[in-house]
Every structure is written in structure tokens, then in C-alpha cells.
Amino acid sequence: KIELLVNRWIQADFPVRWELMPLEEARKAGAMALFGEKYADVVRVVKVEGAAPSAGIVEGEVRSMELCGGCHVRRTGEIGYFLIKSEEGISAGVRRIEALAGEHAVRYARGLFDRVAALAAELGATPEGLPERVEKLREELKAQGREIDRLKAELARAQLGGPRGAEVKEAGPWRYAAVRLSGLDMPGLRKAADALLEESGADLVAVGSEGMLVLKASKRAAERGLSAGALMRALAEVAGGRGGGKPQLAQGGGFDLEKAFERLADLLAGQPEV
């Protein structure tokens, strides 16, 4: 709205006048002074006024009156065009507006349009249809992401139920299952751990892939004193990885999984039951 109003005033081609007057007189007349600026006793006052019904201005109404010592155009029409690049709040009740004027504004707008047109062509759309095209691509990506998650879950289930399926073993007072899978990222490992914990009925499951490791403890085991987070930190000390977490869920990366799985039973057995 501000940009539109300013451009209307520019197109109205108002005269720009300036005069010298005492500072107090200028303030009483309504001249705007910049906060924090120091002014001499006599100041330069720049005024823009005139009649332009189409711009919402009546005869004799002053549109702008400021204290300013810089050079100015003789009429607002010489400005040509006004374009706001950005605006932001910098303190309570104060906003900073960054804008361009004249040929710089036109060049900037032209450059933006050219880039938008090129991007639209790259995506098989017109500049006007770009928002709809981007929204459609976003929905397609979401759908593909859901399909990838589904396939990862199927991959995990297939490995858990195949030759790599985990056998439930005992370590001290705890029952556990550990399995190494392939082709899974951390979210996939967490889902695999959820599935294995539910299917095995173990107190704790360990699922690893490509140096990543997830430990998941049952709620009942955590209430009995088992902590997946503490076990993960202990494994990190002996298997070269880094990780941590909470009593029921812990994760980490950079592990020597073979060594981690070798030491899992001993470290788990060392966790006392409450």
C-alpha cells in the first residue's frame, strides 16, 4: 500500500520546494526531524505539496515536510519509480524500509522478472502460473517422501524377518535382540527398532546400519532401571562412536558396529535391575 501511494504521488508530479527557517519554526510547522539527529538553529526544510485527487491529495495539502540538507529533485515526477525491496522491525514501533528509486528501481524489477520468467520456464510454467506449479511440485515431493518411507519400512521388515532376523538373548536380568541391517538411514533405523521391539518382546533392541546405531528399551524395562541412553554412552566409549539419549530411546553414529555388538551383552548385563 505504501509503495502504491508513493508512486501515485510521483506520477502526480508535485513541485518540490525548500527554504531555510529557524528550527523551532520548522518544528511548529510540522516538519519531520530524524530521531537522534542534531540540527543547527537554522534548518533547510523540504516540502512536497499540491493537488492530485487521484492520489488522494486536495489543493494546498502538504504531503511531505522534512528537515534535510541534501540535494532534491524539482518535481516528484523526476523520481520516476519507487520500489520497496524489504522492510523489517528494528525496535518497538520502528520499522526499517529499504527501497530503490528511478532507473535503479526499474532495473531491479526487470532483473527480478527475468529471473522469475527463467525459473518458470525451467519448471514448465508461466510467471503467472509459477506459484501453482511450485505448490504442485511440493505435493509431489511429499508424496514421494511418503513412498520412500514406506519402502524403507518394507526393507526393514524384510531384513528383520529374513536370515538377518534377530534372536532374543539374555544378558544378566535383561532380554535383548540385536541386528545389523543395510540401506537404512536414522529414521529408518528408529522404525526398525520399534518393529523389532514389538515383535520380539525383548527388554531392549539394538539396530545398526552403516555405522549408525539405535537402542530402544521397552517401557517396562525402563521402569525396572534399564537405560538405553546410558548403554549408548557406554558403547561409545568402547566402539568409537558418539551418541546418547533417554532411558527408552538412544541413537548415535560413527560406531564400529562389529565391536559395539560384541560388547553389547557385557555392558547390558552390567546394568542392574531396580
Q: What is the pLDDT of residues 218-239, one digit of tens each?
A: 999 999 999 999 999 999 999 9
Distance, in Å, from the CA atom of 252 to the CA atom of 238, rounded to the nearest integer, reads 13
- Amino acid code (one letter) for 84: I
> What number of helices (H) and strands (E) belong to the chain?
8, 11
Distance, in Å, from the CA atom of 243 to the CA atom of 255, rounded to the nearest integer, reads 9
**pLDDT of the residue at 224:** 94
Q: Around Cβ 68, how many Cβ atoms within 10 Å?
A: 17
Please give the C-alpha separations between residue 264 and each of 224, 234, 239, 254, in angstroms, as whole numbers. 19, 9, 10, 16
Distance, in Å, from the CA atom of 133 to the CA atom of 100, rounded to the nearest integer, reads 30
Coil, strand or helix at 252: strand
Stretch(es) of the chain classified as CATH 3.10.310.40: 166-269
Low-confidence ranges of the chain (pLDDT < 70): 35-36, 51-63, 162-165
Tens of pLDDT, residues 81-140: 999 999 998 888 888 899 999 999 999 999 999 999 999 999 999 999 999 999 999 999
**pLDDT of the residue at 55:** 52
**pLDDT of the residue at 154:** 81
Cell numbers for 235, please give them.
558403547
DSSP assigned state of 30: T
Helical packing angle, 130-161 and 186-200, nearest 10°: 40
Residue with cell 560388547: 263
**pLDDT of the residue at 57:** 54
Closest CA to 127 of 138, 116, 140, 141: 116
The per-residue b/e assignment along 85-97, b for 16 or more CB within 10 angstroms, e otherwise, is eeeeeeeeeeeee
DSSP assigned state of 143: H
pTM, rounded to two decimals: 0.57
Distance, in Å, from the CA atom of 58 to the CA atom of 3, rounded to the nearest integer, reads 20
**pLDDT of the residue at 165:** 55
Distance, in Å, from the CA atom of 138 to the CA atom of 140, rounded to the nearest integer, reads 5
**pLDDT of the residue at 162:** 53
**pLDDT of the residue at 163:** 44
Closest CA to 72 of 18, 34, 22, 33: 18
DSSP β-bridge partners for residue 98: 86
Query: What number does CATH give the domain 166-269?
Result: 3.10.310.40
